[in-house]
Amino acid sequence: MKTVYLDYASTTKIRQEVVEEMLPYLLNEYGNPSSLYEKGIKNRKVINKCRSKIASIFNANKDEIYFCSGGSEANNWAIKGIAFSNKGKLEIITTKIEHHSILKSCEFLAKLGYKIHYLNVNEKGFVNIYELEETINQNTALVSVMMANNEIGTIQNIKKISEICKKQNVLFHTDAIQAAPHLPIDVNDLGIDLMSISSHKFYGPKGIGALYIRSGVKIENLIHGGHQEKGKRAGTENVAYIVGMTKAIELSINEMNERLIVEKDLISLLYKTIIEEIKDVRFNGPEIGGKRLPNNLSLSFKDVDGSILSFELNKLGICVSTGSACNSDSIEPSHVLQAINVPQEFINGTIRISLGKDTTIEDIKSVAESLINLLK
């Protein structure tokens, strides 16, 4: 039975081109980049080259890119690092629909005496801009708003949010982990001070990510030890994974425009087919278009158990999520769905379908037919 994988928002399969790029650094080019002999110096140059390539994609300076273990570490570092380096400012502003790595970091800071403000969102998942303007003040150390939501696909007005922050002289961080494979990002045009990305969201290896930190921003270290990453993030660099991440994002950006058109067309076809055949279905997030990730479809079915539905689809070889994979071990409804006020009779019957570069029209027809047979 063919597996139809439709959970690309959770993770992606590493590309063969990426594996081939990594292999020399997994096998023969094993030198420690901090070493002073040729084998190490060679790898130091490779890392610097990768740093420059990634920086150029986001219109950043190479010295503003810091490699780390992934998105969760990058988000933790941004939140805690800025809080700890701004001792006189004890307020953080974020939203109710952030990834758990942001929310849990804020909960940790709250235990230390920081005041955390959680902005509301409307029924489509958009941040209440007026609430941000009313909340931000001279005691705010950081505002953190994700660029695109991993569950319902909402793309925030990052430029508008950053402009509000700049007026108040407050630093702005965005979690761009879901957005990076799907949106062109210019950190200077958008006014971003810190930004998190993660390799496994764009067909690179797991366990590697990066935090963009604008030059001049003071941030406390999260991991202490050696002088790697310009003294900001200790630990021997994972050269092979840095190389893999760089190759993956280069390929993703080069193919972005063509891929996004295909994904949007396939998502539109799937949605149209489902709503024509299944009653009592709710579409979560913005309408399909420019303010929504083109590969994302979040659907809630009335009086249905989403976990059971996902299990039944799995038996047919179809992989979808009941929301975010990070919530899969919880019996509580997703905090994102609660924040957008999904009605009680729908909220537990939610599945998230997310497409990728290998998704075919046959895959779309398969999942549509399976959902119709299970629910009609």
DSSP 291: T
Closest CA to 197 of 153, 125, 252: 252
- Measured CA to CA, the distance from residue 343 to residue 338 in angstroms comes to 8
Burial of 26 (0-12, 13-18, 19+ CB in 10 A): middle
Contact between 217 and 77 under an 8 Å Cβ cutoff? The reply is no
Active site residues: 326
User: And the tokens for 100?
Assistant: 């758990």
CB atoms within 10 A of CB 227: 10
CA atoms within 13 A on the CB side of 251: 19
Phi, psi of 144 (to 5 degrees): -125, 115
User: And the tokens for 282?
Assistant: 């709710």
